[in-house]
């Protein structure tokens, strides 16, 4: 039986009752260790959500995605929340950008000295008709990344450009063992790929997230940053040093820094 979790406004009794029937999803792992890492995971995500800025109305979409038993919806929301916690727990001011009539990116990093715009995307199994011949993103990741960066997210990237700030595209891989990171390293020296990056895009940061004992971490040695030398606005080197910083000897960077 699953023990009672903290912050029942997110993973409450009603959610647990419905989730019990969602076999083969992310909740299966939670229920398998409901008194250990599963409880820690739900408590951690619940607490982060409670601390996340914004009104209940503004947070409704994030809340629904976190509670979803659909793997893509839930993992994408946790990735977005983890990126926020990574920066704010280290003393940075990372604010969610309210949605409006036009597409807006996810976050703005302040102050102006290191200011940047972050747009967060999770790579899931492809649903793009142009990729019907493949089963998973890792088998054609470069083409999908280019299409996503240039075609799907250009309006979000222009937000930073129009506000005289660098825009950074943060790509989370949905499966840390897929090998996309290995492919991604090739993009650093891929002249054709770099030349295709729009002026509105300052850099792409590729991140793999995993959960250890219920706590979200980033896989440190697979983080890849691809810079755009032709970007309209170059970003602060402090951002790169923060993301690539070696906090300890482990190959993991904990998202919430104590």
> Across all residues in the chain, what is the average pLDDT?
83
∠ CA 187-111-80 to the nearest 5 degrees?
Answer: 50
Alpha carbon 40 to chain centroid distance? 20
| 229 pLDDT higher than 50 | yes
Mean pLDDT of 71-79: 92
User: Under a CB-based contact definition with an 8 Å cutoff, are residues 171 and 225 in contact?
Assistant: no
Inform me whether the pLDDT recorded for 173 exceeds 50.
yes
**Choice between 38 and 134, residue whose per-residue pLDDT is larger:** 38
Q: Tell me: pLDDT of 234 over 90.
A: yes
Tell me the mean pLDDT in the region 55-76.
Answer: 93
pLDDT at 205 exceeding the cut of 50: yes
Q: What pLDDT, on a 0 to 100 scale, did the predictor assign at position 65?
A: 96
SS3 assignment, position 213: coil
Strand 215-219 relative to strand 107-110: parallel, antiparallel, unpaired?
A: unpaired
Residue 217 has pLDDT above 80, yes or no: yes
pLDDT grade for 45, boundaries at 50, 70 and 90 = very high
Would you say residue 6 has pLDDT above 50? no
**Is the Cα dihedral 85, 86, 92, 96 positive or negative?**
negative
In the chain, % of residues over pLDDT 90:
47
Please give the Cα distance from 242 to 14 (Å, whole number).
Answer: 39
Q: If you average pLDDT over residues 232-252, what whole number do you get?
A: 83
Which of 90-99, 104-113, 142-151, 173-182 shows the lowest per-residue confidence on average (mean pLDDT)? 173-182
Three-class SS state of 35: coil
Q: What is the pLDDT of residues 15-31, one digit of tens each?
A: 988 898 888 889 988 98
Q: What is the pLDDT averaged over residues 93-114?
A: 90
Global pTM reads: 0.87
- Contact (Cβ atoms closer than 8 angstroms) between residue 53 and residue 96: yes
* 116-148 pLDDT tens trace: 999 998 876 444 433 333 334 444 556 566 666
Tell me how many degrees the CA angle 131-136-141 measures, rounded to the nearest 5: 70
Residue 4's pLDDT is 44
The domain limits of the chain are: 1-51, 68-254
pLDDT at 140: 53
Per-residue pLDDT at 137: 42
pLDDT on residue 83: 97
Q: What is the pLDDT of residue 246?
A: 60
């Amino acid at each position: 039986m699953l023990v009672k979790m903290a912050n029942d406004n997110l993973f409450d009794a009603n959610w647990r009752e419905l989730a019990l029937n969602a076999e083969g999803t992310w909740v299966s792992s939670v229920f398998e260790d409901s008194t250990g890492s599963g409880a820690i995971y739900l408590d951690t995500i619940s607490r982060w959500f409670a601390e996340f800025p914004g009104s209940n109305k503004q947070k409704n979409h994030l809340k629904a995605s976190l509670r979803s038993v659909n793997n893509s919806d839930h993992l994408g929301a946790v990735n977005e929340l983890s990126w926020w916690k990574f920066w704010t727990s280290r003393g940075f001011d990372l604010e969610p950008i309210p949605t409006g009539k036009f597409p807006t990116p996810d976050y703005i990093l302040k102050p102006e000295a290191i200011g940047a715009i972050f747009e967060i995307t999770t790579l899931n199994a492809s649903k793009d008709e142009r990729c019907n011949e493949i089963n998973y993103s890792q088998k054609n990741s470069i083409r999908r990344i280019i299409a996503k960066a240039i075609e799907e997210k250009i309006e979000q990237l222009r937000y930073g450009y129009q506000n005289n700030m660098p825009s950074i595209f943060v790509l989370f891989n949905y499966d840390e063992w897929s090998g996309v990171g290995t492919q991604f390293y090739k993009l650093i020296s891929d002249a054709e790929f770099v030349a295709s990056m729009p002026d509105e895009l300052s850099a792409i940061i590729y991140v793999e997230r995993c959960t250890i004992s219920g706590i979200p971490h980033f896989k440190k040695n697979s983080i890849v940053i691809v810079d755009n030398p032709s970007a309209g606005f170059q970003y602060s080197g402090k951002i790169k040093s923060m993301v690539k910083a070696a906090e300890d000897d482990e190959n993991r960077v904990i998202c919430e820094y104590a």
